[in-house]
């Protein structure tokens, strides 16, 4: 077979007879092993190996030269590489080069040490010799059959002496494409439609369907989130929440409408600078607002602003250009042509935005298109509802009267209790003349108050806690700290050893923003509690029902405990206790202490207005209206978006010595690295918009290559450039440089259409090959760098979960919106020093795609971390793909995956036919897209039968597994036998754990 | 040395796996996944560079940063000038986290005494540590560059003040691997009301392969996430599921030849073994009563004492790096819950006995010889009273210029005090030890040259010590 020579062969694959090529074989070795000491920066022994003239000059140390063209044995380079003497041998202090590597040098020198001469005077020009820094050239497509991609691939397959693998079967193909394009497996009906479609255009049609799916956009956005280091929190210390999801949804929309990648780039990097920037273009700039801020006391905002700007520099460089600029912030880049000046000149583009290091500003209100469309209707409805809520109708007047009578009657039945002894764990408490208890002195962080009292003889139904204001408290309290709020976590009543059960606590008020409800004082949860932010400066009352009437002899001593463990001195300043001796304590609503005085007696007009106003706010009859109003207000509340905003006057940028923001040196102007094409600024001083346009300029050698390579990497597991984050001299050269250039130019030819790029690659035979690894593959192309077979690898963290949700039928397919809180292991969030709590979703938000899971940087969703997601503190260009026992445990036992097994079991029973075989086939095909072989079916049937036998012996266990109480939604399956369901649940658990289920193959 | 590329690494692993024949599949896979010693995985270095003095580390991080001036570094001058304004030239140009204006010096309310044959000086708040004073080396001359918690903790754990670098435990896992086939090389445990401010990044593997990240053992619920089978699923069912999975995955392996499937099979078997070995490991009631009492450990509670005892059980089983975080040392003095009069003694009470017990217990078992124990916070505290918003509680602000740590065991010279600070305890005057120096020293004791333990990322070789760090020779036995 005729083998076409390509410009850059894999050095590993080179045959011993071939002549080594400098750019392809020698320069990477020099860069990796030698430039560190013999490069532009360090020139040990006066020797540079990065410049042709310097390296080929005769050595001064003797009669030999460092490199004597045509005579390896006379070349000191070779002597030094081969030396046994540690002091002599190069590279110094490191392991010797391999025999193969040394042999490459020998053969290269013997063949004449051909080193392409740079025609430029400027030393930097020599860098242009590096393939990635010159623009892609349109390559000739090799002759032959198939698509251009296939011909480029086939041209190299002769090297390992392999042929392309045959097409994979249709089920495998559809599954592969579905997972690659949408991140979700195909449904059975989609499989059947595709398998049964005899038309030659079936594959193209299937691709179109997938490309049109909203899940395509979600899946592509998911990958972009890693580059954008998207998170829903600020990053440092308390790691508070921030509202970023409008940016995330912007990315989804962009992929859905196939926004050309050049526009996609410009809007994210500089949408705010576009003429008449639209709301959406401003939201797009959230890309670079995903940097972290530090609000910790004493943190220097400038330090963290500078860190954020540097992060923007690194992220822009790695995301669009596949180059690493990090090291150039402290010193000249050792391996690539980026000086410290280049770094800070690039930095200058990002250094003039109006954000600092310790807040989320600037933000803008960012209504969604749906909100804007409905805004007028909603505003009208809001006015109507508010009107209704402020009108005391005759019916309401009547109900007020009834309530007032009942309440005044019950008021007489309350007895204030005089405490006998009071003490706090830390605080000093005093009993005042009106029987109330006042806390004295500086408040501690937390405390528990205890009140010992005797109740009159009688039967008691209720307990009342009045929280009172006092002149001695900050602005009269009722809390003890400057914020005046308190959190009463737990209220407990006992008589000696006997605990008196409390239930259904009510209050006149609780703070609205969080569930700090009165009932939380008696719910047994030590973290929840009653709080009153928004009601500071007023007295409040909590009324608690006793679970059973309490008979007191008159001499019994009771103890009331008020646990206040929230911290930050959220403590009650003054309170009074009362007991109810008649009537039910469950009258609703509870009036605030200030109002009770005016009940059951004539009132003046002002008092009436106050009472009516209050009653309108609490009347049970208006509850539905109030709820609707809250809903309308919620729908009208515009989310915010963090945006880039340019300062009116640009901020001066200085070189930072050793990268320290405190050690500023000479000023630099915004410009791009010299080795890259020139910038075409619109005005004298270039800005971010110029930079963004430069990145997508036709002359730019990197942007398109880097993007197509990353897309290739996601589809095939490894990029044509394996080091997808490093296109520099330290990176690997492309295995198929011409294909890479062809794809990059094709991408621009189709106006940067990502969908078209997907179409092109997925239509190739290369993509559609079987992934089967035959012995010749393991031997000659073990890591598939020659693309001798189709791709096969585990899907990403979010994908693992999305697949299980989709297969089980639980997946909620709604797109976009605020991030959600599916169940996660307890304690994941309490780790962070902050009161913020993960409020687990109870509805369908449990089952949204992983893309929507709330991402808190200091404590990300644990299962995603287990499957190699990062914490999104920094941009991630490529996730690791590990295979660990912790992953096995998560897939087997994470309640989310167990929930999926429980739901999948029901699908097997309800949709999978009637016989055991049918159900197994249904489940197997659902999970893997193919039908099981006979042995596979037998394994699963034996598992089912063994489980059935086991659960017949233990129906209690069966119920626990198959009908868990933790599930929020009823499956409506009272007709199903729990024992059988449990056995199927175990089978489903096995199916969801198959390597094949979580692997794209 | 040439850095192994991921592709080569994978190829090597595959070769190892495929060549394993009928030999223990699990152990081979573990070489990749838990970082086994000297394996052919490529993601691991070839073990120590020279003979190690210690094989493992127990690192006790006191999150929030304890006051060295009330525990380890007595200052008579502070007592003499209590509540006098600090000399202004001392704080010229200084940035503090909370202190404003010219603060006043603050004497320690605690007495110090000499202990043991070595005569180590310790505060009365640490009576138990006093009992093992001859076993520890006190370093009074630690200094850092950071004065806020998250950056300070990141710096101390990763050698860099912002996120993204691998933590020391990850470096050790990468450099040395684990000695146990059934447990991770790097385990983290937390106690106290909160976790450390730096969060998950403190035990992250940064750019190192994720297999080197710290695995958090939890005191609530499953000790390792998702270790327990779902309710209603009996161990028999789990075994049958794994048997079925193995048959089905093996069939697929035969069909497709992808060695990743073989690794997956091995991982499921290991997971199953962990379901037994880990619960057994965390059952501290298995320890004799006198041992539990020595630590003050109580089964079922979530305490520093329990974690110390668990740490011993972990290193006994070959875990390379066990890191404990205990929260609550941030003694600003804004209320009794963070002052040096009420809160600091509480923290000492929670930790002192267990720290001493850990040393005694390791010694008793002969483990102290090659187990290095390290104790300390992320920075120090000011010689001045903070008085935030005029608070009347006594407390000290964050202080990067001088703080104290102690080390014991594995190659550390016992019974010495290294370094000194000026008469107010403001700056280091003798034998300064930077955070990078500490890292270099820890690696040295583990047989690793901090300049040679490198990993190539973003186009350059990274080290735990960046371009700094020198071994604190005087600390070595």
Are A889 and B227 an interchain contact pair (Cβ–Cβ within 8 Å)? yes
A544 φ, ψ (degrees, to nearest 5): -120, 135
Which pLDDT score is estimated for B300?
80
Q: How far apart are CA A467 and CA A474, in angstroms?
A: 15
- Chain A residues whose CB is inside 8 A of the B251 CB are 933, 935-936
Write the residue in B221, B267, B398 that is nearest to A885 by C-beta: B267
Q: How far apart are CA B350 and CA B64, in angstroms?
A: 15
Q: Indicate if the pLDDT at residue B236 is higher than 70.
A: yes
Q: What is the pLDDT of residues A326-377, one digit of tens each?
A: 878 887 776 677 889 999 999 999 999 999 988 999 999 999 999 999 999 9
Are A868 and B255 an interchain contact pair (Cβ–Cβ within 8 Å)? no
Q: Indicate if the pLDDT at residue B8 is higher than 90.
A: no
- Chain B residues whose CB is inside 8 A of the A958 CB are 232
Q: Indicate if the pLDDT at residue A108 is higher than 60.
A: yes
Q: What is the pLDDT of residues A885-909, one digit of tens each?
A: 999 999 999 999 999 999 999 999 9
Write the residue in A728, A778, A960 that is nearest to B459 by C-beta: A728
Are A567 and B337 an interchain contact pair (Cβ–Cβ within 8 Å)? yes
Q: Which of A482, A892, A934, A945 to mutate to test the interface with B (most CBs of B within 10 A)?
A: A892
Write the residue in A832, A862, A942 that is nearest to B195 by C-beta: A832
Report the helix count and the strand count for chain B, using DSSP H and E: 13, 17
Write the residue in B162, B197, B241 that is nearest to A989 by C-beta: B241
- Judged by a CB distance cut-off of 8 A, whether residue A97 touches chain B is yes
In chain A, which among 943-972 make CB contacts under 8 A with chain B? 943, 946-947, 950, 954, 957-962, 964
- Chain A residues whose CB is inside 8 A of the B14 CB are 778, 782
Q: How far apart are CA A742 and CA A747, in angstroms?
A: 9
In this predicted structure, which of A165-179, A356-370, A829-843, B154-168 has the lowest mean pLDDT?
A829-843
Are A445 and B163 an interchain contact pair (Cβ–Cβ within 8 Å)? no
Task: Kindly report the nearest CA distance between residue B119 and chain A, in angstroms.
Answer: 37
Strands A414-416 and A574-580 turn out to be antiparallel
Task: Kindly report the nearest CA distance between residue B315 and chain A, in angstroms.
Answer: 20
Domains and CATH numbers, chain A: 11-123 (no CATH), 260-366+647-700 (no CATH), 414-582 (2.60.120), 895-1000 (no CATH)
Q: How confident is the model at residue A631 (pLDDT cuts 50, 70, 90)?
A: very high
Task: Kindly report the nearest CA distance between residue B75 and chain A, in angstroms.
Answer: 27
**Number of structural domains chain B divides into:** 1
Classify B405 as helix, strand or coil.
strand
Concatenated DSSP letters for B112-179?
EEEETTTTEEEETT-HHHHHTGGGEEEEEEEE-S--SHHHHHHHHHHSSSSTTSPPHHHHHHHHH-BS
More confident residue, A291 or A77: A291
Write the residue in B150, B164, B452 that is nearest to A874 by C-beta: B164
Nearest CA in chain B to A992: B245
Backbone region of residue B443 per phi and psi (left: phi > 0; alpha: psi in -120 to 50; beta: other values): alpha
- Chain B residues whose CB is inside 8 A of the A794 CB are 260
Q: What is the mean pLDDT of residues B136-150?
A: 94
Are A871 and B201 an interchain contact pair (Cβ–Cβ within 8 Å)? yes
Q: Which of A735, A869, A995 to mutate to test the interface with B (most CBs of B within 10 A)?
A: A995
Q: What is the pLDDT of residues A969-980, one digit of tens each?
A: 555 566 789 999
Write the residue in B151, B261, B459 that is nearest to A995 by C-beta: B261
Q: How far apart are CA A894 and CA A979, in angstroms?
A: 22
Write the residue in B14, B230, B244 that is nearest to A939 by C-beta: B244
**In this structure, is residue B460 part of a structural domain?**
yes
Q: Indicate if the pLDDT at residue A705 is higher than 70.
A: yes
Write the residue in B194, B230, B252 that is nearest to A832 by C-beta: B194
**In this structure, is residue B154 part of a structural domain?**
yes
Q: Indicate if the pLDDT at residue A75 is higher than 80.
A: yes
Q: How confident is the model at residue B125 (pLDDT cuts 50, 70, 90)?
A: very high
* pLDDT mean across residues, chain B: 87
Q: B6: closest CA among A68, A80, A732?
A: A732
Tokens matching residue A135: 């623009």
Tokens matching residue B370: 């090659």
More confident residue, A11 or A528: A528
Are B456 and A830 an interchain contact pair (Cβ–Cβ within 8 Å)? no
Are B237 and A947 an interchain contact pair (Cβ–Cβ within 8 Å)? yes
Q: How confident is the model at residue B7 (pLDDT cuts 50, 70, 90)?
A: very low
Q: What is the mean pLDDT of residues A639-656?
A: 96
- Chain B residues whose CB is inside 8 A of the A859 CB are 199-200
**In this structure, is residue B15 part of a structural domain?**
no
Please list, in sequence order, all residues whose beta carbon lies within 8 angstroms of the beta carbon of residue B298, skipping any fewer than 6 positions away: B292, B305, B306
Q: How confident is the model at residue A675 (pLDDT cuts 50, 70, 90)?
A: confident
Classify A371 as helix, strand or coil.
helix
Q: What is the pLDDT of residues B10-57, one digit of tens each?
A: 333 333 333 333 333 333 333 333 333 333 333 455 588 999 999 999
- Whole-complex ipTM: 0.76
Task: Kindly report the nearest CA distance between residue B343 and chain A, in angstroms.
Answer: 11
Which pLDDT score is estimated for A743?
98
Domain holding B58, by residue range, is: 45-220+302-475
Q: What is the pLDDT of residues B270-315, one digit of tens each?
A: 899 999 889 999 999 999 999 999 999 998 888 999 999 999 999 9
**In this structure, is residue B263 part of a structural domain?**
no
Q: What is the pLDDT of residues A198-248, one digit of tens each?
A: 888 999 999 999 999 999 999 999 999 999 999 999 988 788 999 999 999
Helix axes A188-195, A916-928, angle to 10 degrees: 80
Are A833 and B459 an interchain contact pair (Cβ–Cβ within 8 Å)? no
Which pLDDT score is estimated for A414?
86
Q: What is the mean pLDDT of residues A241-259?
A: 98
- Chain A residues whose CB is inside 8 A of the B271 CB are 885-886, 888-889, 892
Write the residue in A783, A961, A993 that is nearest to B232 by C-beta: A961
**In this structure, is residue B63 part of a structural domain?**
yes
Q: How confident is the model at residue A122 (pLDDT cuts 50, 70, 90)?
A: very low
Which pLDDT score is estimated for B339?
92
- Chain B residues whose CB is inside 8 A of the A959 CB are 232
Classify A769 as helix, strand or coil.
strand
Helix axes A885-893, A895-911, angle to 10 degrees: 50
A718 φ, ψ (degrees, to nearest 5): -135, 145
Are A989 and B267 an interchain contact pair (Cβ–Cβ within 8 Å)? no
Q: What is the 3 state secondary structure string of B11-24?
A: HHHHHHHHCCCCCC
- Chain A residues whose CB is inside 8 A of the B238 CB are 892
Classify B373 as helix, strand or coil.
strand
In this predicted structure, which of A277-286, A835-844, B136-145 has the lowest mean pLDDT?
A835-844
In this predicted structure, which of A15-19, A294-298, A332-336, A408-412 has the lowest mean pLDDT?
A15-19
Q: What is the pLDDT of residues B72-110, one digit of tens each?
A: 999 999 999 999 999 888 888 787 878 888 899 999 999
Q: What is the pLDDT of residues B430-476, one digit of tens each?
A: 999 999 999 999 999 999 999 999 988 766 789 999 989 999 999 99
Q: Which of B187, B225, B253 to mutate to test the interface with A (most CBs of A within 10 A)?
A: B225
Q: Indicate if the pLDDT at residue A748 is higher than 50.
A: yes
Residue A695 CA, distance from chain mean position: 26
The residues facing B59 across adjacent strands are: B323, B374
Which pLDDT score is estimated for B18?
34
- Judged by a CB distance cut-off of 8 A, whether residue A300 touches chain B is yes
**In this structure, is residue B248 part of a structural domain?**
no
Are B195 and A833 an interchain contact pair (Cβ–Cβ within 8 Å)? yes
Q: How confident is the model at residue A94 (pLDDT cuts 50, 70, 90)?
A: confident
Are A886 and B260 an interchain contact pair (Cβ–Cβ within 8 Å)? no
User: Would you say A56 and A115 are in contact if contact means Cβ atoms under 8 Å apart?
Assistant: yes
Which pLDDT score is estimated for A57?
62
Q: Indicate if the pLDDT at residue A6 is higher than 50.
A: no
Please list, in sequence order, all residues whose beta carbon lies within 8 angstroms of the beta carbon of residue A981, skipping any fewer than 6 positions away: A905, A906, A909, A958, A962, A963, A973
User: Would you say A417 and A453 are in contact if contact means Cβ atoms under 8 Å apart?
Assistant: yes
Q: What is the mean pLDDT of residues A264-281?
A: 98
Q: What is the pLDDT of residues B321-354, one digit of tens each?
A: 999 999 999 999 988 889 999 999 999 999 999 9
Which pLDDT score is estimated for B26?
34
Task: Kindly report the nearest CA distance between residue B277 and chain A, in angstroms.
Answer: 13
- Chain B residues whose CB is inside 8 A of the A898 CB are 230
- Judged by a CB distance cut-off of 8 A, whether residue A850 touches chain B is no
Cβ neighbours around B59 below 10 Å, total? 22
- Judged by a CB distance cut-off of 8 A, whether residue A986 touches chain B is yes
The sign of the torsion formed by the CA atoms of A745, A749, A755, A758 equals negative
Nearest CA in chain B to A789: B256
Q: Indicate if the pLDDT at residue A968 is higher than 60.
A: no
Nearest CA in chain B to A717: B7
Q: What is the mean pLDDT of residues A602-610?
A: 90
Q: B177: closest CA among B47, B286, B50, B16?
A: B47
**In this structure, is residue B207 part of a structural domain?**
yes
Angle at the Cα of A311 (from A307 to A316), degrees rounded to 5? 155
Within chain B, what is the greatest distance between any pair of CA atoms? 82
CATH number at residue B310: 3.40.720.10
Tell me the pTM: 0.77
- Judged by a CB distance cut-off of 8 A, whether residue A778 touches chain B is yes
**In this structure, is residue B8 part of a structural domain?**
no
């Amino acid at each position: 077979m005729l083998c076409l020579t390509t410009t850059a062969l894999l050095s590993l694959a080179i045959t011993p007879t071939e002549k080594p090529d400098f750019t392809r074989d020698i320069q990477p070795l020099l860069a990796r092993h030698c430039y560190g000491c013999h490069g532009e920066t360090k020139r040990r022994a006066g020797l540079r190996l990065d410049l042709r003239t310097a390296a080929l000059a005769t050595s001064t140390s003797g009669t030999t030269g460092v490199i004597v063209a045509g005579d390896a044995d006379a070349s000191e380079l070779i002597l030094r590489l081969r030396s046994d003497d540690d002091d002599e041998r190069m590279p110094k202090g490191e392991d010797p080069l391999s025999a193969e590597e040394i042999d490459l040098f020998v053969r290269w020198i013997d063949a004449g040490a051909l080193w392409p001469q740079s025609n430029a005077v400027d030393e930097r020009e020599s860098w242009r010799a590096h393939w990635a820094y010159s623009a892609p050239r349109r390559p000739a497509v090799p002759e032959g059959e198939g698509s251009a991609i296939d011909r480029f691939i086939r041209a190299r397959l002769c090297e390992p002496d392999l042929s392309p693998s045959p097409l994979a079967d249709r089920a495998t193909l559809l599954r592969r494409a579905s997972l690659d394009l949408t991140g979700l497996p195909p449904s059975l009906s989609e499989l059947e439609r595709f398998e049964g479609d005899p038309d030659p255009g079936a594959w193209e049609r299937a691709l179109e369907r997938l490309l049109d799916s909203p899940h395509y956009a979600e899946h592509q956005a998911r990958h972009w989130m890693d580059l954008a280091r998207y998170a829903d929190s600020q990053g440092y210390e308390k790691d508070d929440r921030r509202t970023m999801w409008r940016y995330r949804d912007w990315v989804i929309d962009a992929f859905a409408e196939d926004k050309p990648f050049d526009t996609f780039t410009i809007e994210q990097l500089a949408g705010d600078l576009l003429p008449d920037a639209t709301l959406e273009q401003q939201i797009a700039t959230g890309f670079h607002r995903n940097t972290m801020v530090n609000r910790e006391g004493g943190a220097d905002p400038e330090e963290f602003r500078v860190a954020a700007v540097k992060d923007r520099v690194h992220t822009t460089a790695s995301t669009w250009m596949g180059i690493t600029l990090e090291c150039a912030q402290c010193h000249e880049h050792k391996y690539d042509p980026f000086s410290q000046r280049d770094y800070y000149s690039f930095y200058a583009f990002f250094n003039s935005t109006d954000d600092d290091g310790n807040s989320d500003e600037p933000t803008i209100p960012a209504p969604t298109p749906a909100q804007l469309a409905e805004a007028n209707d909603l505003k009208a409805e809001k006015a109507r509802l508010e009107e209704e809520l402020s009108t005391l109708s005759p019916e309401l007047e009547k109900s007020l009267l009834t309530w007032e009578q009942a309440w005044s009657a019950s008021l007489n039945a309350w007895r204030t209790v005089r405490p006998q002894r009071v003490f706090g764990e830390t605080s000093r408490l005093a009993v005042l003349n009106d029987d109330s208890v006042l806390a004295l002195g500086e408040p501690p962080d937390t405390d528990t108050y205890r009140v010992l009292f005797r109740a009159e003889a009688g039967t008691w139904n209720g307990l009342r806690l009045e929280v009172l204001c006092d002149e001695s408290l900050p602005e009269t309290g009722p809390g003890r700290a400057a914020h005046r709020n308190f959190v009463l976590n737990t209220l407990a009543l006992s008589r000696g050893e006997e605990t008196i059960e409390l239930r259904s606590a009510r209050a006149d008020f609780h703070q609205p923003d969080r569930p700090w409800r009165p009932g939380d004082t008696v719910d047994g949860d030590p973290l929840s509690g009653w709080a009153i932010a928004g009601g500071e400066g007023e007295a409040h009352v909590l009324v608690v029902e006793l679970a059973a009437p309490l008979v007191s002899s008159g001499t019994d001593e009771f103890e009331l405990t008020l646990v206040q463990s929230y911290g930050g001195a959220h403590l009650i300043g003054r309170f009074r206790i009362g007991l109810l001796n008649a009537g039910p304590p469950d009258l609703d609503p509870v009036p605030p202490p200030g109002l009770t005085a005016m009940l059951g007696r004539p009132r003046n007009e002002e008092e009436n207005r106050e009472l009516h106003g209050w009653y309108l706010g609490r009347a049970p009859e208006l509850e539905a209206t109030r709820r609707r109003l809250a809903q309308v207000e919620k729908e009208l509340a515009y989310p915010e978006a963090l945006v880039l905003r340019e300062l009116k006057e640009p901020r001066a940028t200085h070189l930072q010595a050793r990268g320290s923001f405190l050690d500023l040196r000479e000023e630099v102007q915004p410009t791009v690295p010299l080795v890259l094409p020139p910038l075409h600024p619109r005005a004298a001083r270039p800005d971010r918009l110029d930079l963004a346009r430069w990145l997508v300029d036709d002359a730019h050698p990197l942007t398109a290559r880097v993007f197509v390579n990353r897309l290739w990497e996601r589809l095939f597991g490894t990029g044509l450039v394996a080091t997808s984050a490093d296109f520099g001299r330290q990176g690997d050269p492309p295995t198929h440089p011409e294909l890479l250039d062809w794809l990059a130019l094709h991408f621009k030819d189709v106006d940067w259409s990502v969908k078209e790029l997907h179409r092109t690659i997925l239509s190739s035979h290369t993509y559609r090959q079987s992934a089967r690894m035959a012995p010749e593959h393991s031997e000659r192309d073990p890591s598939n760098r020659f693309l001798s077979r189709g791709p096969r690898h585990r899907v990403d963290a979010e994908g693992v979960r999305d697949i299980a949700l989709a297969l089980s039928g639980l997946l909620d397919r709604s797109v976009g919106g605020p991030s959600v809180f599916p169940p996660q292991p307890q304690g994941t969030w309490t780790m962070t020093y902050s009161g913020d709590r993960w409020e687990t979703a109870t509805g369908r938000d449990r089952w949204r795609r992983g893309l929507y899971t709330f991402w808190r940087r200091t404590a990300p969703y644990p299962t995603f971390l287990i499957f190699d997601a990062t914490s999104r503190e920094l941009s991630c260009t490529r996730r690791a793909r590990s295979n660990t026992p912790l992953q096995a445990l998560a897939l087997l036992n994470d309640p989310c995956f167990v929930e999926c097994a429980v739901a999948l079991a029901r699908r097997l029973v309800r949709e999978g036919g009637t016989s055991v075989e049918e159900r197994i086939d249904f489940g197997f095909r659902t999970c893997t897209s193919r039908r099981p072989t006979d042995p596979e079916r037998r394994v699963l049937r034996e598992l089912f039968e063994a489980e059935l036998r086991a659960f017949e012996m233990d129906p209690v266990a069966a119920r626990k597994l198959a009908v868990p109480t933790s599930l929020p939604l009823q499956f409506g399956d009272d007709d199903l036998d729990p024992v059988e369901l449990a056995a199927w649940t175990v089978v489903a658990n096995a199916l969801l754990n198959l390597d094949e289920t979580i692997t794209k193959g | 040395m040439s850095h192994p590329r991921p592709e080569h690494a994978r190829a090597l692993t595959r070769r190892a796996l495929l060549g394993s024949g009928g030999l223990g599949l699990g152990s081979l896979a573990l070489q990749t996944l838990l970082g086994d010693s000297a394996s052919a995985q490529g993601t691991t270095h070839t073990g120590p560079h020279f003979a190690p003095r210690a094989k493992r580390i127990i690192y006790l991080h006191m999150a929030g940063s304890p006051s060295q001036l009330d525990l380890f570094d007595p200052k008579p001058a502070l007592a003499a000038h209590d509540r006098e304004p600090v000399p202004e030239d001392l704080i010229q140009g200084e940035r503090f986290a909370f202190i404003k204006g010219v603060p006043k010096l603050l004497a320690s309310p605690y007495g110090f005494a000499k202990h043991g044959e070595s005569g180590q000086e310790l505060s009365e708040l640490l009576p138990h540590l006093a009992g093992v004073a001859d076993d520890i080396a006190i370093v009074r001359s630690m200094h850092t560059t950071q004065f806020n918690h998250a950056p300070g903790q990141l710096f101390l754990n990763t050698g860099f003040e912002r996120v993204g670098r691998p933590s020391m435990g990850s470096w050790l896992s990468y450099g040395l691997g684990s000695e146990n086939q059934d447990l991770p090389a790097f385990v983290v445990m937390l106690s106290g009301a909160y976790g450390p401010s730096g969060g998950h990044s403190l035990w992250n593997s940064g750019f190192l392969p994720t297999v080197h990240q710290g695995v958090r053992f939890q005191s609530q619920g499953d000790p390792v996430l998702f270790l327990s089978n779902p309710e209603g699923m009996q161990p028999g069912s789990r075994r049958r599921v794994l048997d079925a999975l193995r048959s089905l995955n093996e069939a697929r392996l035969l069909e497709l030849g992808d060695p990743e499937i073989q690794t997956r099979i091995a991982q499921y078997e290991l997971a199953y073994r962990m379901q037994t070995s880990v619960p057994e490991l965390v059952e501290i009631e298995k320890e004799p009563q006198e041992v539990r009492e020595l630590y003050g450990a109580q089964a079922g509670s979530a305490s520093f004492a329990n974690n110390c005892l668990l740490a011993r059980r972990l290193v006994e089983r070959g875990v390379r790096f066990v890191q404990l975080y205990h929260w609550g040392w941030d003694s600003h003095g804004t209320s009794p819950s963070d002052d040096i009069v009420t809160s600091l003694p509480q923290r000492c009470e929670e930790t002192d006995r267990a720290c001493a017990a850990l040393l005694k217990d390791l010694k008793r078992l002969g483990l102290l010889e090659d187990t290095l124990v390290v104790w300390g916070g992320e920075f120090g505290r000011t010689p001045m009273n903070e008085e935030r918003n005029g608070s009347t509680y006594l407390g000290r602000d964050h202080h990067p210029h001088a703080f104290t740590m102690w080390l014991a065991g594995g190659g550390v010279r016992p019974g010495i005090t290294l370094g000194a600070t000026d008469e107010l305890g403001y700056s280091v005057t003798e034998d300064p030890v930077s955070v990078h120096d500490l890292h270099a020293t820890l690696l040295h004791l583990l047989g690793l040259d901090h300049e040679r333990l490198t990993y190539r990322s973003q186009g350059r070789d990274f080290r735990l010590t960046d371009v700094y760090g020198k071994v604190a020779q005087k600390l070595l036995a």
